[in-house]
Each structure stands twice: as C-alpha cells, then as structure tokens.
Amino acid sequence: MHCAAVLAAAQAAPLLRAQLLGTSRRAMATSLLRVPPPQELLRPLAVPDRLLLGPGPSNVPSRIRAAGGRQLLGHMHPETLQVMDEIKAGIQYAFQTQNPLTLALSGSGHCAMEAALLNLLEHGDTVLVAINGIWGQRAADIARRLGANVHELLKPPGECFTPRDIEQGLVQHKPLVLFITHGESSTGVLQPLEGLGELCHRHGCLLLVDAVASLGGAPIFMDQQEIDVLYSGSQKVLNAPPGSAPISFSERAREKMLRRKTKPPSFYLDMGWLANYWGCDGEPRSFFSLREGLAVLAELGLESSWERHRANCSRLCQGLRDLGLELFVKEERVRLPTITTVRVPEGYDWKDITAFLMDKHGMEISGGLGPTVGKVLRIGLMGCNSTSGNVERVLGALQDALRHCRRSRL
C-alpha cells in the first residue's frame, strides 16, 4: 500500500521523480519506502490524569500547562530575551544569589549535574564526593568519566554528613571540588549545609551542591552559605515539565573555569558558550513553563513555600506513624520535606503497594532507588502537590493498600 502511495506521490511529483530517476538505479530502488507509517501513530494520543506523588515529576498546574501550550518564539526575539531575563532573576531569587553567571540549561537536573562537573573539573583534578545515596554515586561515576581523581566520602543511606566528616575528608584528600547532595531523593535525607562553604574555602576547595529535589521546598542560601555551584531541576517543586535546569556559578567557580587549560568535553554544556548566550539551540517553550514555575514561587514567597512543604511533610510523617509504619530517616531535622521515605512493612512487597495505589487510586508513589531499592516507599509532596488534601489522600490510599496487599505467609 505504501508502495502505491510512493508511485502516486511520484506521479504527482515530476521533479521528485526526476530527481530520483536522475540518480543511479540503486537510488530508484531506495525511493520505495521499506518502513510503512506505524499504525499506533495513526491512533489519537491518550494521556490519563494522575496524581503524581512520587519523587518527581510532580503534577503541572494549569497555569504552567498553559505556558507549555503557547506558540514558540525564535530564540533571538526580544520577548524571548525578556523571558530569559525573568528566568535569570527568578533563579537568583530561588537560589538567593547575586551571581551574574546564573541561567537555565536545556536539559534535566541530571544534565545540570554533568554541566557542573564537566565545567569545573579537568583531567586529573581531585574531587571529593559525599555519597549517602544514588546522587553521590552518580556524580562520582561522571567525575571518573571526566578523568578526575575521585575520592569518596561514605555514609550509610538515611544518614547525613557532619562538618567534622567533611573537614576530615578535605584534610585527607585536599580536593579542588566537594560534591554534596542537599536533597537526597533516594533516601529522603536533607543535608545541613551551614558552614560547609566556609570550611571548603578555608581548605582551598569549591563547594558544589545538588538541590534538584529540595529547591523551593527547604531553605538554601547560595551566597550566604558560600555555595560555589548550585543546580536544580524544573519538574520538582517548580512544577514545570522536565527539560530545563536552573544552575548558578560563584565568582570563585567562574575563576576556576577561566583558568582551564583544556576545553570541557562538551560544547552543548560549555559554560563559556552558555554564558555568552544561553539557550542558543532554543528551548523557548519549556522556558515559558519554567518562567511560570518561578513566577508562582515568587508570588508565594520562598519562606511560605518552605513552610508549606515542612508542614505537609510533618503531617504526612505523623499519619504514617499512626498507620504503624516506620520512617526511614530517623532524625526529623534531616528529613527532606519534599520526598518522604518510609520502610516497606513486614509481610508486604513494595511493588504490590505502588501498583495498588496506581490501579485503585490513580496515584503514583514510588519504591526505593539505588541503596534503598526494595527497602522503602517514596512519597513526594512537591509544589502544588504539597497540600493537606494530598496528605489525606495518600494516607487513605496507603491504609487501603495495607488492608489489601499483605502477602499470605508461605
């Protein structure tokens, strides 16, 4: 049938046909499509509405969805440049920084981790990676790919690092960069950052912080806490679709990049070019969404956002305890207010519970990640999803699951 279509098209297209006839016999043969149009693409797109209470992405409010549905603009149009200025100002507010080198990458938070490491590190540079979950492991993997001299500072999943832990690592390994995760989404730990920047700088080291899962949901102050590189994602508290990642570099970080002897192994993520004009390959549409996500945060105010996430997280934790469940992170002070980890109770399989919530309640929560696989359930309450109503919904659904998902002992 598609061959017939080709012939029809060829008849309707003398020049195309001539073009094909003009070339070799082989070219003529190749003018017949071998792969027909896929039937599944000829059916309409079907997307159900779901409550996304996993570790992200979280639901996108209608205002931000509307921004995602706007017409594109060219990447050099004044309105686009204006939106980019607004995004820059919004990131500076969310990060609490005055850094001029503040922008959004066209990629996920994961992409921002790579951008931070490949711009800061050169082959042979020593980096110390604080690992208490999967994001530290990932950063160490990427740093090794970049040919860096990687040292690991280890803590069991569910625990956080003390300034003493960090100082010992700095003294022992003399790194140029320390990587640490503020919101460890695989374990639910919120890493205290107070004093770490001063500590690193006293030891001639830059502080690189991953705030993908925590930004807007827990206090962070890039300038006052002397953080040198900070990045996040768009699909967590900001409630924008994935695909644009806020990132900022301090003057110290900028100087290290200017001293590079070698180009970063990427052009796409080379800050030299991005800083000159970021978004050249144009992500205007997801920029619109990110702009709206940052606008919602600016209207709500950071403190109110932090407090809302803290309050709903503690309501959730209390409710989980009331169901007889055990929280994975013992110390309340270091619980991530955006993503709560709870141990899978005896006699249950986490897959049964997450499947039950999806099928019976149209609600996503997730299992563990990396070191917590099989051990925990992860409940995300981020941005517009952080409401007491959603706390009630997920607690009710879990109570229902505990009734129905117990495995008969064999």
Query: By C-alpha distance, which of 341, 4, 409 is closest to 159?
Result: 341
Smallest gap, in angstroms, from Cβ of residue 408 to a copy of itself? 27
Q: Is 149 in the site for a copy of itself (CB under 8 A)?
A: no
Contact 326, 375 (CB under 8 A): no
Q: Is 268 in the site for a copy of itself (CB under 8 A)?
A: yes
408 three-class SS: coil
Q: 403 a known binding residue?
A: no
Q: Is 109 in the site for a copy of itself (CB under 8 A)?
A: yes
177 three-class SS: strand
User: Would you put residue 155 in left (φ > 0), alpha (ψ -120 to 50) or beta?
Assistant: beta
Q: Is 74 in the site for a copy of itself (CB under 8 A)?
A: yes
Beta strand 376-380 pairing with 339-343: antiparallel
Stretch that binds a copy of itself, among 86-94, 149-157, 167-175, 203-211 (CB under 8 A): 86-94
- Map the footprint of a copy of itself across residues 25-44, applying CB under 8 A: 26-27, 29-31, 33-38, 40-42
- Map the footprint of a copy of itself across residues 7-26, applying CB under 8 A: 9-10, 12-13, 15-16, 19-20, 22-24, 26
Contact 219, 209 (CB under 8 A): no
- Map the footprint of a copy of itself across residues 280-299, applying CB under 8 A: 281-286, 288, 291-292, 294-295, 298-299
Query: By C-alpha distance, which of 406, 217, 219, 186 is closest to 316?
Result: 217
- Map the footprint of a copy of itself across residues 309-368, applying CB under 8 A: 310-311, 314, 333, 358, 364, 366
Smallest gap, in angstroms, from Cβ of residue 171 to a copy of itself? 22
Structural Rg of the chain based on CA atoms: 25
Token pair 């830059």 is found at: 206
Q: Is 303 in the site for a copy of itself (CB under 8 A)?
A: yes
Q: Which is nearer to a copy of itself, 14 or 347 (CB)?
A: 14
Burial label, 405 (beta-carbon count in 10 A; 0-12, 13-18, 19+):
buried
Smallest gap, in angstroms, from Cβ of residue 48 to a copy of itself? 6
Smallest gap, in angstroms, from Cβ of residue 14 to a copy of itself? 10
Strand partners, 230: 209, 248
349 three-class SS: coil
CA 312 to chain centre: 21
Smallest gap, in angstroms, from Cβ of residue 239 to a copy of itself? 9
Q: Which is nearer to a copy of itself, 19 or 168 (CB)?
A: 19
Smallest gap, in angstroms, from Cβ of residue 138 to a copy of itself? 7
Q: Which is nearer to a copy of itself, 57 or 133 (CB)?
A: 57
Q: Which is nearer to a copy of itself, 130 or 134 (CB)?
A: 134
Stretch that binds a copy of itself, among 175-183, 276-284, 382-390, 398-406 (CB under 8 A): 276-284
In the chain the first and final C-alpha atoms are separated, in Å, by 56
DSSP type of residue 55: S
Query: By C-alpha distance, which of 343, 342, 338 is closest to 384?
Result: 338
Q: Is 81 in the site for a copy of itself (CB under 8 A)?
A: no
The binding site for substrate comprises 378
